[in-house]
Amino acid sequence: MIKKEFCAENFTNVPEAIELGIDRIELCDKLDVGGTTPTDAVQLETIRYAHPRGVDVVSMIRPRGGSFVYSEAEKSQMLEQATQAIKNGSDGIVFGCLTEQGAIDKTFVETLIRIAGSRQSVFHMAFDAIPKEKQPEALDWLIEAGCTRLLTRGGTTGSALQHKEVINALIERAGSQMEILPGGGITFENLNEVEVEIRATQFHGTQIVPLTHIK
């Protein structure tokens, strides 16, 4: 059974998306810069609506758009945001943190995974900015660290479908040890094709279901 994760910028489209059969919500703010941490009010409203309907909510933890290399002040802010998202009832947190050298910021990511605890920890498309030759090792490390899921488009630009070989290789390497969640250009219109080409059991997108309007 394929799972559909709806990427929501706010609460507005959440009721319709749930009615259309999504399984999980990735909740963000400011999708025009790639998604930042949603406000407490939006988290609480979404969680209150989604949970009684059997839909999980994971909250983005990102203080700004731009690079995935964060200052100490930004990291402090992210730790507070992550802790608060869990307190608010989020089913998990979504993050991606790199070093200046383009590797995973391991110490910081371990801390975020600890904050998530028994809930879901999701490393997002910051992974795609890691040099290709270093990605297998990075994936292995995330598995060892206990990360629940990796959101990837398989490249820094383009769609998941364009990078299907890369994503399928990640799926094969992860096996049952970690979930791989393809995203990037996946919509309700091409989902059937994507399901054939990419061997995942879940897919992510802002248009993963046919909303009547997008706000």
Provide the CATH number for the domain around residue 169: 3.20.20.380
Take residue 107 and report the two structure tokens written for it: 């110490």
On whether residue 212 sits in a domain, the answer given is no
On whether residue 150 sits in a domain, the answer given is yes
Take residue 177 and report the two structure tokens written for it: 């040890």
On whether residue 167 sits in a domain, the answer given is yes
On whether residue 112 sits in a domain, the answer given is yes
Counted domains in the chain: 1
Tell me the C-alpha to C-alpha distance, in Å, between residue 7 and each of 34, 49, 118, 140: 11, 16, 22, 26
Q: What's the pLDDT score for residue 214?
A: 65
- Contact present, 61 and 39 (Cβ < 8 Å): no
Q: What's the pLDDT score for residue 190?
A: 98
CA–CA distance, 114 with 112 (Å, rounded to integer): 5
Query: Which residue intervals of the chain are DSSP H helices?
Result: 14-19, 40-50, 72-87, 106-116, 135-145, 164-174, 191-197
Domain boundaries, position 20:
3-205
- Contact present, 110 and 129 (Cβ < 8 Å): no
On whether residue 52 sits in a domain, the answer given is yes
On whether residue 211 sits in a domain, the answer given is no
Nearest to 59, CA basis, from 72, 45, 76: 45
Q: What's the pLDDT score for residue 7?
A: 98
Nearest to 210, CA basis, from 194, 193, 196, 190: 190
Per-residue pLDDT of the chain (215 residues; tens, 9 = 90+): 899 999 999 999 999 999 999 999 999 999 999 999 999 999 999 999 999 999 999 999 999 999 999 999 999 999 999 999 999 999 999 999 999 999 999 999 999 999 999 999 999 999 999 999 999 999 999 999 999 999 999 999 999 999 999 999 999 999 999 999 999 999 999 999 999 999 999 999 999 999 997 65
Q: What is the dihedral angle through the alpha carbons of 79, 84, 89, 94, rounded to the nearest 10 degrees?
A: -30
Q: What's the pLDDT score for residue 65?
A: 97
User: What single letter denotes the amino acid at residue 182?
Assistant: P
